[in-house]
Each structure stands twice: as structure tokens, then as C-alpha cells.
């Protein structure tokens, strides 16, 4: 048995255990995406990076412990690297949560909450299945252009989203969202009028209005 | 075929492939050792002379390696052969490798008994009859570029310098490249005649531990880039209890602007094979692999031929030199990706899988090829091993720095007068290499920066040229040693564009396994592209630095770990150029197309009309004054007019054109 020290928490594990397993045993959570026990252990996503005492960053999912070792799991530096890393991954993801099967059960969405990355709409947490979406029933909901993180409380209790968590800033997501509004027969002016209630003085709202104008203009 | 050094001299020689003699190698040159016979000694002496001057006393040597072939050495070989056969001359023709002095290419060497050995540079096939006549009939060497020795018997000897007096030759420390350009790379006999295989012969008489100790004592560090001590790597591999073990020579050299491994393997392949055999003996492996880049076919075929030749004479195979040590080598062509040079990806490629790197530890020394302990060494390291074992560790450790001993081959390319491969002791300053050996910047330009370590190295500004070339100093300056490629960048290059160029390469070569490298490099490229198009913002610089640092620290393998170096080092040393692109929307070096304009200076214009005739978009027209002018709206800034103008009337300006509204036009 070897002693592993993770951020000062000591835990005793079998030699050959990965840092990720040791952390689970110690009750410490390390964000991770790609590792699947017995299936894939390629250390591709690099979200589970931890720091050794020699200052090297190693992936917790693939690094096996054979002797007493100490790791830093959470520090400002690691958080920043994980965050940029996750933003890189998200930048290539086509975010269309309102159409997605996995909403409510999405690893990306929950990780984005954990790492503080913005840009995923409220739809990712919506409890309603796609076919029962409020928008398909003609009820104006701002979920598609609002940052997630509220657990979609309003929708869970039967209401619609009013956008209190602020607008999404990613351009391609906004474009798709406004197109979806138009598809469903909403007037973009109505959407913006509703959005102004919370976002009137938010700088990102100006950008959002520009995108909306472009989507509308492109149709003409 | 006549008697060669590799054959038995007389019946008394007991050497045979089934019962090899331990002193076989020493006996070839200094022999015979087991019996004394004047005739046998004479036989060897005569053969050595034949190797030097050819069987008929006159010899023409033509270098056939990739660099000389590219400049037309094959035509010269044909021309020489034709001429000699047609005129029935008694001259033997042989081939050799390359000196590494690429500005001489294609060169040709004439030797004859009693005459000085002459080297002619930049030869053309039509010169051949004249040169042969001059040298072999008129005994005139006045048109030679350099002589190897002087005899006082040939005409014009005084005017031609000696090779040993040339700056590019005497200022080098040729240790591992000593045979390059001198011996025939396809002849085992010539390699042994110049002292080859003595290292193996000596190693086999020592215990493997003693060999490792000798390498440790020499302080040899891996020449592939990371600089891990070779002796320690071997010791770890030897200490593993799992068998069988393997040794691998990494000849997958993919950096643009680096070709020292190719030069070594094409000019002196037996040295690499000898080094690999010693490595196999030291760690206890019976099988070795040479992993060669498939894009360098001559290098692969030379190594393959050398392996077959060594096998034929019992220097590979069972019971090598009567020591009871079995070893064989297989030459493997790489899968052709830059990432194959990464050791774990290389192993995957040998195993027949996709060349993806994997997380280390476990290191290949613990779990490598097919899960067995494997020592992976660069070919230059292995050539060093062979030389160290022949000459002793002290001779090797006499040069170099405190932490890194010995010499290193560097490729100097780019904007220099004498590009080529130069071998100097580690710790030599960059200035020595670039200015004294390579001759400094080409006429009409100044050195702005040097890119060290290939596409994943860093740009070091001209003000830091006095830095010594060793692993630690380069790392702290933001570059890496890499394989030793040095690209000299002159003041006509834009550093943002240079960084973008290197990222184009690394982002295309990223294997895609981990996404900091896959996505991060793409995003870095996008931002640099945006800046060179003049659309960059100051925010972009912050993002650039954040993403570059993340890619550097979070990537899985060394490719991603070093790929952002060009960006980080240019940000560190050439921030003013980034700021000029972003704030002033100008390109100080006048390279980025979106940020420059071409105009015609009417005072200089001679109205010849060449610019208008060559313009691909018809943007140039004749004015009322008879002179020409460029319509900036139509101009695509291809630069054709700038090149064709005979009087230099076309001028470049480091500022994009502004529309009347003040908005930039791209």
C-alpha cells in the first residue's frame, strides 16, 4: 500500500492505482471527460491534469502511483489551464442544446458549471423533453439565448425563462438561436423587447442585438 | 574481384563466419595479429593504397547524397562515366557521402598518385572533360576550389587553398561527422580502413556494465532534443527484469531545415549500425530497429545496404566477433508523420498501429515495444556512442560545457552565405556558428533572428546571438535544442508571419489525440492569421498568450508541448511588431499582404511597360504623363511588378490603403 497526498488529504491505495481513483477514494473530485474504465485510458481531454511536486502536469486518469507521492489537485494555475482547455474543447462543439437528446444529463454542461465557462444556454438544463418545449407551444422563452447555471428553475416550476442570468456571448450559438426563433414563428423584436427587461445595461446585449439584426437582415 | 581487406589474407587466418576471431577488426588494418608474415602485411598495405588512389592509381570521387543529387550530382556521375569510358582512361570512379558544406554542391574530387587531391566546387556536366584533361593530363589544379594536400608537383598549387586552412573546415570540430564526404558510404571495407568497428570490437571485450560506465563517464546526452543522459537511459533499461529487450534508432527526422541525421546516415551509415550494436550489447537486447523517415529514400536504402553488408561479414547476426552476443537489425520505414519522431508514437508505428503518442510514465525504458523494455536513441547519439567507444570517453569529454560534453551537429539554413551542416562543441555561441562558419547574412540583409530547434523551437533575436548553444541556456531563452536546426531569418521577414508559418506546419502535423494541441494550435493559427490580415485587437494578444501557455503545459506529448514556442518567443522578443500590426495596422517588414501597398515612383519610372505586361489583374495602366501607375483598388499585392521592374521604381509601403471613410479595405 502507498500513501497518496492530494492537496494535503492523505489516502492509502494499492500500488498501480491511478490518481483519479485515489482522489475518488479521498472524496476529492477531479473534472474529467474522456476516461472510461476498461475502455479508454488515453489521457486525451487533459482536464484531469494534476501537478506533481516536481512541477510537472500529469493526467490523473493515466498516472499510476507506485510510491508515496504528493499532488496538487486544485490551484489557481490548474484551474486556469483547465478552463482554457475546456473553452478550447467547447469552441469546436456545435451548441444546439434545444435540439439535443442529452439535455439535463450533459457532461459538458455540468463541467462548464464546475469550471465557470459561460456560453451554454439554459436549454441544457431544461427538464422538458424537446417535443414539449415551451417555444413549440408558442410561449416565448429566453432559454436559448440565456447563460445556464440556474438549473432552469423557472421552467421546472412551470414558467418560462426571463433571462435573469445574462445573455450568451458566443456568436454562432446566438445566430442559431435567433434562426430557431424565426423558424418557430416568433418576431425577433418581441424577443429583444423581452430581453431588455433584464439586459438593458449589459454590455453584451449590444453585441446580441447586432447578431439579431444580422439574422433578420439575412432573411430579407 | 580482387582481394579486399575483409577477406582472409592467407590460410593461417582462422577467422570464419562460424568461428569468428575476436581480433578480426584490429587485424584488418594493423594485422596480421595471429601470425607474422611479411607478405600478408604487404597485401594490406597495398590494399589501403588502392582504397585511397583507386586500383589504377587515379580516382574520381563523386558525392551521391540527397543534397548533392538535388543540385545535379547524378548528371555529373553520368558525364564522368561517359567520358572515362569513351576515352578509355585508366581512372576508377567511386562515390562518397557529403561534407555537409552545401554551398559547394555539386562537388567532385580528383586523386592521383603524386598529385595533390583536388576538390572542384559547383561543377556542371559540361565542365567535366575540361577538368579531367587539366588534372590528369596537364597536371594543373589551378581551377580547383580547394586541395586536400600539397605535393609541389602540380601547376597552380599555390593559388588554391588547403582544405584544412578553410574557415568552414578548420573552425569545426569534426568528431562524429569525421567520415562524412570522405569514405564511400556503401563500402564496409573503407569504413573499417578508416578506423570503423574498433568501438564495437573494444566493447565486446568489456562487460555490458563497463560499456554503460564508459558512456556515463563520457557524459553523453541524447542528441535528439530532450538531452536525457544516454548512460542513465541504458542503465534503467538494463536493470529491467523483463526479456526480451529492444533497441531502436530514431532516424525519423522531420523538422524543416534540419538534415544532420540524413547526412550522417547517407554518408556514414556503418557508424550508426555500430552504435546500435553497442547499445544492444550494453542493455542486453538481441534485436534492434532503425526507424527511418520514408520521405528520405536514399537514407533508408543506404542503411538497409549497410545492414546487409554487416550481416554478410558477421558483424550482425549470431556470435558477433566470437563474443557469444547475437544481434540483428531491421530497417523500418516510418508512417510519414512528424509526430512519429516522438518516442511513444514511434513505438506504436513499429508495432503497426496508428502513430499516436501515449502518456508517459511508464517510459519506454520500462514498457516500450510490445510492452518490453526498449531504449530509443537518436542516430546522432548512436554515432557518438560508436566514436566514444573507439576513442575513449576522455577524448569526447574534453570539449563541451560543464553539463553537456562533446560535440553536436547543427544545420544552418535560411539567409546565410554558406548553408550547411557544421559540427561544433556544445556551448559554442550562436554567433560563431552563424557568422564565422556560415558566413553571416546574405548580401544586402541583416540577421534579425534565428529560429533554433525546428518548427517547435523559438526565435532568438539578433541581440542574443552570443548565447551558448546548450540545452539549459536555450530553454531559458525560450527556444529548444531540438535536433539542431538553425534557420536564420533576415530583416525582410515579418516575425508574425514567421510564427504563423511554423504554426501552419505544427497544426497540420498535430496527431489529434489530445485537444489542447489539436484545437489550441488551430486557434493560435486563426488569431495570427487575423493579425496578419490587420484585423487583430489587443484582446487577441492576451488570448494568444493564454492559449499558447495552455497548449504548452497541458499537451500530451512533446509536439504540443513545444509547438507554441514560436508564438511565445516572438511575443517575448518582437512585441513591437505585433503592436505595429494591431495598433498601427502596418507591417514593418512589408510582408503581410493586407498591410502593404505598392506604388510606382514616377521620377524613376522609365515607362518600359514591363509591370503592366506582367500584372495578373491588369491593375497597372499608363498615365497621361507617359508613366505608369497602380490602381490600388484592383491590386492584389502579388509583388510581380516589384520583381520585374528593371529600375526599382515600384515601391513597397508598410501601410494598407485607407478608404475615404477611414475604414480599412482588405
Residues of chain B falling short of pLDDT 50: 658-666
Q: Write the CB contacts of B660 (distance below 8 Å, at least 6 apart in sequence).
A: none
Tell me the CATH number for domain B188-397.
3.40.50.11540
φ and ψ at B414, to 5 degrees?
Answer: 95, -145
Q: Does residue A121 share a domain with residue A177?
A: yes
- Count other C-beta atoms under 10 Å from residue A60's C-beta: 25
Tell whether A161 and A109 lie within a shared domain: yes
What are the two backbone dihedrals, phi and then psi, of residue B560, each rounded to the nearest 5 degrees? -70, -30
Neighbouring CB atoms inside 10 A of A112's CB total: 23
Q: Give the CA angle between residues A34, A39, A41 to the nearest 5°.
A: 50
Q: Structural domain tally of chain A? A: 2
C-alpha cell at B44: 594490406
* Residues A191 and A130 grouped into a single domain: yes
**CB–CB contact B523 A44 (8 Å):** no
Q: What pLDDT is recorded for position B376?
A: 92
List the end-to-end C-alpha distance of chain B, in Å, as a whole number: 71
How does strand B146-147 pair with strand B118-120? Answer: antiparallel
User: For residue A190, what pLDDT is reported?
Assistant: 87
By the CB < 8 Å criterion, does A49 face chain B?
A: yes
In this structure, the answer to whether residues A111 and A174 fall within a common structural domain is yes
- The answer on A192 and A156 residing in a single domain is yes
CB atoms within 10 A of CB B538: 10
Q: Which domain holds residue A119?
A: 94-219
Q: What is the mean pLDDT of each run of 10 residues along chain A (220 residues)?
A: 89 89 90 83 86 89 88 90 89 85 81 85 85 85 88 86 88 88 88 88 86 76
Q: Which residue has the cell 467547447?
A: A90
User: Do residues A200 and A166 lie in contact, with contact meaning Cβ atoms separated by under 8 Å?
Assistant: no
- Please give the pLDDT value at position B296: 86
d(CA B363, CA B355): 17
- Say yes or no: B554 contacts chain A, CB-CB below 8 A: yes
Q: How far is CA B608 from CA A201, B597, B601, B641, B649, in A?
A: 63, 21, 13, 12, 11
C-alpha cell at B340: 512519429
Can you give the pLDDT at residue B1?
Answer: 58
Is A19:A38 a contact under the CB 8 Å cutoff?
A: no
Distance CA A156, CA B629 (A): 70
CB-CB neighbors (< 8 A) of B547 in chain A: 84, 88
Q: What angle do CA B151, B153, B158 make, to 5 degrees?
A: 75
Distance from CA of B562 to the nearest CA of A (A): 15
Residue linked to cell 547475437: B326
Chain B: residue whose CA lies nearest to A65: B361
B496-584 matches B188-397 in CATH topology: no
Peptide bond before residue B361 is cis, with ω within 30 degrees of 0:
yes
Q: What is the pLDDT of residue B586?
A: 86
Residue B569 CA to its chain's centroid (Å): 23
Considering the domain boundaries, does residue A88 fall inside one?
Answer: no
Phi/psi region, residue A163 (left: phi>0; alpha: psi -120 to 50; beta: rest), is left
Q: State the CATH architecture for B596-653.
A: 2-Layer Sandwich (3.30)
Judged by a CB distance cut-off of 8 A, whether residue A176 touches chain B is no
Residues A100 and A69 in one domain: no
Task: Measure in Å the smallest separation between the Cα of A146 and chain B Cα atoms.
Answer: 24
Reported residue count of chain A is: 220
Q: In angstroms, what CA-CA distances link A191 with A23, A42, A179, B327?
A: 46, 45, 12, 77
pLDDT at B656: 61
pLDDT recorded at residue B654: 78
Residue A87 domain flag: no
Look at the domain B54-170 and name its fold.
Glutaredoxin (3.40.30)
Same domain assignment for residues A59 and A103: no
CA A100 to chain CA centroid, Å, is 14
Tell me the fold of B407-492. Ubiquitin-like (UB roll) (3.10.20)
Last residue of a domain, one of A35, A61, A82: A82
- CA dist B148 → A46, B92, B115, B144, B157 (Å): 58, 19, 10, 11, 11
Which among A42, A57, A58 has CB closest to B513?
Answer: A42
Torsion, Cα B134 B137 B140 B144, to 10 degrees, reads: 50
Total residues found in chain B within this entry: 666
In a domain, A197, yes or no: yes
The grid cell for B174 is: 569534426
Do A45 and A121 lie in a common domain? no
- Claim to verify: residue A48 and residue A12 sit in the same structural domain: yes
Q: Residue B315: is the preceding peptide bond cis (ω within 30°)?
A: no
- Same domain for A62 and A127? no
Domain B496-584 is found in CATH 1.20.1440.230: yes
CATH number of the domain to which A60 belongs: 3.10.20.740
Domain end residue (candidates: A33, A62, A82): A82
Q: Alpha helices of B100-178 — where are they, by DSSP H?
A: 128-132, 167-170
Q: Is B326 left (phi over 0), alpha (psi -120 to 50) or beta?
A: beta
From residue B218, how far is each of B175, B334, B397, B471 by CA, in Å? 14, 31, 5, 17
DSSP assignment of B405-438 equals BSEEEEEEEESBSS-EEEEEETT-BHHIIIIIIS
Q: Say whether both A64 and A136 belong to one domain.
A: no
Of B356, B361, B515, the CB nearest to A45: B515
Contacts of A42 in chain B (CB under 8 A): 356, 358-359, 513
Is A140 buried (19+), middle (13-18) or exposed (0-12) by CB count in 10 A? middle
Please provide the DSSP assignment of A160-194 as one string: ----TT-B---HHHHHHHHHHHHHTT--HHHHHHH
Classified as helix, coil or strand, B140 is strand
Q: What does the pLDDT read at residue B592? A: 86
Is A51 at the interface with chain B, CB within 8 A?
A: no
Contacts of B523 in chain A (CB under 8 A): 88, 91
Contact B285, B319 (CB under 8 A): no
> Under 8 Å CB-to-CB from A38, ≥6 apart: which residues?
none
Q: Do B555 and A46 touch (CB under 8 A)?
A: yes
**In chain B, domain spans:** 54-170, 188-397, 407-492, 496-584, 596-653
Cell numbers at residue A194, please? 423581452
Of the residues A52, A82, A112, which one is the last residue of a structural domain?
A82
Do residues A72 and A156 share a domain?
no
Contact between residue B447 and residue B439 where contact means Cβ atoms under 8 Å apart: no
| Residue B449, H or E segment | strand B447-452
- Which residue in B633, B654, B534 sits closest to B591, CA to CA? B654
Which chain B residues are Cβ-neighbours of A67 within 8 angstroms?
none
Phi, psi of B48 (to 5 degrees): -60, -40
Q: Does B178 touch chain A (CB under 8 A)?
A: no
| DSSP of B298-317 | HHHHHHHHHHHHHHHTTSSB
All three cell numbers of B563, joined, read 509547438
Amino acid at each position: 500500500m502507498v500513501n497518496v497526498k492530494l492537496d494535503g488529504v492523505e489516502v492509502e491505495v494499492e500500488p498501480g492505482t491511478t490518481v483519479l481513483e485515489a482522489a475518488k477514494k479521498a472524496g476529492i473530485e477531479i473534472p474529467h471527460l474522456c476516461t472510461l474504465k476498461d475502455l479508454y485510458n488515453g489521457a486525451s481531454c487533459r482536464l484531469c491534469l494534476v501537478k506533481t511536486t516536481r512541477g510537472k502536469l500529469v493526467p490523473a486518469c493515466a498516472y499510476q502511483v507506485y510510491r508515496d507521492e504528493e499532488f496538487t489537485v486544485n490551484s489557481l494555475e490548474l484551474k486556469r489551464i483547465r478552463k482554457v482547455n475546456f473553452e478550447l474543447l467547447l469552441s469546436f462543439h456545435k451548441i444546439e442544446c434545444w435540439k439535443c437528446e442529452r439535455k439535463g444529463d450533459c457532461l459538458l454542461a455540468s463541467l462548464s458549471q464546475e469550471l465557470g465557462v459561460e456560453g451554454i444556454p439554459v436549454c441544457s438544463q431544461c427538464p422538458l423533453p424537446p417535443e414539449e418545449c415551451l417555444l413549440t407551444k408558442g410561449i416565448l422563452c429566453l432559454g436559448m439565448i440565456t447563460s445556464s447555471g440556474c438549473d432552469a428553475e423557472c421552467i421546472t416550476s412551470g414558467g418560462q425563462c426571463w433571462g435573469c442570468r445574462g445573455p450568451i456571448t458566443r456568436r454562432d450559438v446566438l445566430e442559431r438561436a435567433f434562426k430557431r426563433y424565426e423558424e418557430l414563428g416568433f418576431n425577433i423584436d418581441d424577443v429583444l423587447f423581452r430581453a431588455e427587461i433584464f439586459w438593458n445595461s449589459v454590455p453584451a446585449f449590444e453585441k446580441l442585438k447586432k447578431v439579431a439584426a444580422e439574422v433578420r437582415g439575412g432573411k430579407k | 574481384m580482387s582481394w579486399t581487406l575483409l577477406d582472409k589474407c592467407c590460410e593461417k587466418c582462422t577467422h570464419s563466419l562460424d568461428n569468428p576471431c575476436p581480433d578480426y577488426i584490429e587485424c584488418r588494418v594493423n594485422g596480421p595479429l595471429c601470425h607474422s608474415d611479411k607478405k600478408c602485411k604487404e597485401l594490406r598495405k597495398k590494399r589501403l593504397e588502392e582504397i585511397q588512389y583507386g586500383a589504377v592509381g587515379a580516382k574520381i570521387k563523386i558525392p551521391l547524397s540527397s543534397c548533392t543529387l538535388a543540385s545535379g550530382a547524378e548528371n555529373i556521375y553520368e558525364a564522368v562515366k561517359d567520358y572515362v569510358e569513351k576515352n578509355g582512361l585508366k581512372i576508377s570512379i567511386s562515390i562518397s557521402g557529403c561534407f555537409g558544406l552545401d554551398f559547394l554542391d555539386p562537388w567532385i574530387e580528383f586523386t592521383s598518385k603524386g598529385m595533390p587531391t583536388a576538390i572542384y566546387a559547383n561543377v556542371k556536366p559540361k565542365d567535366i572533360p575540361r577538368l579531367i584533361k587539366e588534372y590528369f593530363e596537364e597536371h594543373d589544379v589551378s581551377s580547383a576550389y580547394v586541395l586536400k594536400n600539397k605535393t609541389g608537383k602540380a601547376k597552380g598549387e599555390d593559388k588554391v587553398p588547403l582544405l584544412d586552412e578553410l574557415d568552414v573546415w578548420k573552425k569545426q570540430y569534426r568528431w562524429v561527422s569525421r567520415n562524412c564526404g570522405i569514405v564511400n558510404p556503401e563500402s564496409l571495407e573503407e569504413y573499417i580502413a578508416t578506423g570503423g568497428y574498433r568501438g564495437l570490437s573494444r566493447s565486446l571485450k568489456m562487460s555490458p556494465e563497463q560499456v554503460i560506465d564508459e558512456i556515463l563517464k563520457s557524459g553523453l546526452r541524447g542528441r535528439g532534443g530532450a538531452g536525457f543522459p544516454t548512460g542513465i537511459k541504458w542503465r534503467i533499461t538494463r536493470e529491467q527484469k523483463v526479456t526480451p529487450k529492444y533497441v531502436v534508432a530514431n532516424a525519423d527526422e522531420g523538422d524543416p531545415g534540419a538534415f544532420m541525421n540524413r547526412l550522417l546516415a547517407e554518408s556514414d551509415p556503418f557508424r550508426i549500425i555500430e552504435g546500435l550494436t553497442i547499445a544492444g550489447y550494453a542493455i542486453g537486447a538481441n534485436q534492434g530497429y532503425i526507424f527511418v523517415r520514408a520521405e528520405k529514400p536514399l537514407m533508408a536504402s543506404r542503411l538497409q545496404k549497410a545492414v546487409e553488408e554487416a550481416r554478410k561479414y558477421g558483424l550482425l547476426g549470431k556470435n558477433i566477433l566470437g563474443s557469444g552476443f547475437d544481434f540483428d537489425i531491421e530497417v523500418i520505414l516510418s508512417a510519414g508523420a512528424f509526430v512519429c519522431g516522438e518516442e511513444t508514437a514511434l513505438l506504436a508505428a513499429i508495432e503497426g498501429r496508428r502513430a499516436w503518442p501515449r502518456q508517459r510514465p511508464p517510459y519506454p525504458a520500462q514498457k516500450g515495444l510490445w510492452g518490453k523494455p526498449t531504449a530509443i536513441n537518436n542516430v546522432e547519439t548512436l554515432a557518438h556512442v560508436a566514436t566514444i567507444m573507439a576513442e575513449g570517453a576522455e577524448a569526447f569529454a574534453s570539449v563541451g560545457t560543464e553539463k553537456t560534453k562533446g560535440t553536436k551537429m547543427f544545420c544552418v539554413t535560411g539567409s546565410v552565405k554558406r548553408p550547411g551542416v557544421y559540427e561544433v562543441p556544445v556551448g559554442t555561441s550562436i554567433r560563431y556558428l552563424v557568422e564565422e562558419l556560415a558566413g553571416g547574412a546574405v548580401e544586402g540583409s541583416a540577421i534579425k533572428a534565428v529560429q533554433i530547434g525546428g518548427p517547435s523551437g523559438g526565435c532568438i533575436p539578433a541581440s542574443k546571438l552570443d548565447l551558448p548553444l546548450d540545452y539549459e541556456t536555450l530553454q531559458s531563452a525560450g527556444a529548444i535544442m531540438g535536433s539542431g536546426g538553425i534557420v536564420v531569418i533576415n530583416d525582410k521577414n515579418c516575425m508574425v508571419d514567421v510564427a504563423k508559418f511554423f504554426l501552419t506546419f505544427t497544426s497540420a502535423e498535430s496527431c489529434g489525440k489530445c485537444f489542447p494541441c489539436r484545437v489550441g494550435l488551430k486557434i493560435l493559427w486563426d488569431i495570427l492569421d487575423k493579425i496578419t490580415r490587420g484585423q487583430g485587437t489587443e484582446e487577441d494578444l492576451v488570448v494568444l498568450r493564454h492559449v499558447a501557455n495552455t497548449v504548452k503545459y497541458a499537451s500530451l506529448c512533446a509536439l504540443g508541448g513545444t509547438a507554441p514556442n514560436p508564438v511565445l518567443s516572438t511575443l517575448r522578443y518582437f512585441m513591437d511588431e505585433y503592436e505595429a500590426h494591431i495598433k498601427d495596422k502596418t507591417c514593418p517588414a512589408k510582408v503581410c499582404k493586407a498591410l502593404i501597398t505598392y506604388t510606382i515612383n514616377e521620377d524613376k519610372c522609365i515607362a518600359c511597360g514591363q509591370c503592366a505586361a506582367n500584372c495578373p489583374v491588369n491593375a497597372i495602366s499608363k498615365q497621361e504623363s507617359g508613366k505608369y501607375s497602380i490602381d490600388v483598388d484592383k491590386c492584389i499585392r502579388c509583388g510581380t511588378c516589384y520583381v520585374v521592374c528593371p529600375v526599382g521604381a515600384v515601391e513597397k509601403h508598410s501601410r494598407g490603403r485607407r478608404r475615404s471613410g477611414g475604414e480599412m479595405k482588405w
